[in-house]
Amino acid sequence: MLTGKNLIYPTDFTVEQLEDLFRLTDDIIARPEKYARSCVGKILATMFFEPSTRTRLSFEAAMERLGGKVLGFADPASSSAAKGESIADTIRMISCYADIAVIRHPAEGAAHVAALHSFIPVINAGDGGHQHPTQTLTDLYTIRTKKGRFHDLTIGLCGDLKYGRTVHSLIHAMCRYENIHFVLISPEELKVPDYVIREIEAAPGCSYTLNPDLDDAIRQVDILYMTRIQRERFASQEEYLRLKDSYILDAQKMQNAREDMIVLHPMPIVNEITGAVDEDPRACYFVQAQYGMYVRMALILSLLGGQEGYPTVCGAKMFEKTCVNPRPNGTVHCKNPKCVSNLDLTLPIRVKEGGRVCEYCDATIEP
| Residue 228 binds ligand NCD, judged by CB under 6 A | yes
| Residue 126 binds ligand NCD, judged by CB under 6 A | yes
Q: How far is CA 352 from CA 27, 170, 184, 348, 362, in A?
A: 38, 21, 27, 13, 9
Taking CB under 6 A as the criterion, the residue among 12, 19, 27, 54 binding ligand NCD is 54
Considering the complex, state which of residue 54 and residue 333 has its C-beta at the smaller distance from ligand NCD: 54
Taking CB under 6 A as the criterion, the residue among 65, 165, 253, 338 binding ligand NCD is 165
Q: How far is CA 133 from CA 23, 33, 130, 172, 296, in A?
A: 18, 27, 10, 9, 11
CB of 112 to ligand NCD, least distance (A): 17
Considering the complex, state which of residue 243 and residue 349 has its C-beta at the smaller distance from ligand NCD: 243
CB of 240 to ligand NCD, least distance (A): 13
- How many whole angstroms separate alpha carbon 200 and alpha carbon 171? 8
| Residue 131 binds ligand NCD, judged by CB under 6 A | no
CB of 45 to ligand NCD, least distance (A): 18
Are the beta carbons of 365 and 352 closer than 8 angstroms? no
Q: Looking at residue 74, what DSSP letter applies?
A: S
Residue type, 299: L
| Residue 266 binds ligand NCD, judged by CB under 6 A | yes
| Residue 181 binds ligand NCD, judged by CB under 6 A | no
Can the peptide bond before residue 268 be classed as cis, meaning omega within 30 degrees of 0? yes
Considering the complex, state which of residue 88 and residue 122 has its C-beta at the smaller distance from ligand NCD: 122
Taking CB under 6 A as the criterion, the residue among 25, 38, 46, 55 binding ligand NCD is 55
- How many whole angstroms separate alpha carbon 155 and alpha carbon 211? 12
Strands (E), 95-205: 100-105, 122-127, 153-158, 180-185
CB of 267 to ligand NCD, least distance (A): 5
φ, ψ (nearest 5 deg) of residue 150: -115, 10
| Residue 132 binds ligand NCD, judged by CB under 6 A | yes
- How many whole angstroms separate alpha carbon 48 and alpha carbon 322? 27
Binding-residue total with ligand NCD (CB under 6 A): 11
Taking CB under 6 A as the criterion, the residue among 166, 169, 336, 342 binding ligand NCD is 166
| Residue 46 binds ligand NCD, judged by CB under 6 A | no
CB of 285 to ligand NCD, least distance (A): 10
| Residue 267 binds ligand NCD, judged by CB under 6 A | yes
CB of 227 to ligand NCD, least distance (A): 6
CB of 136 to ligand NCD, least distance (A): 10
- How many whole angstroms separate alpha carbon 55 and alpha carbon 169? 15
| Residue 74 binds ligand NCD, judged by CB under 6 A | no
| Residue 231 binds ligand NCD, judged by CB under 6 A | no
CB of 142 to ligand NCD, least distance (A): 12
Nearest to 52, CA basis, from 76, 87, 83, 71: 76
Residues ≥6 apart with Cβ < 8 Å to 68: 39, 40, 41, 42, 43, 44, 300
Residues in the site for ligand NCD, rule: CB under 6 A? Answer: 54-55, 126, 132, 135, 165-166, 227-228, 266-267
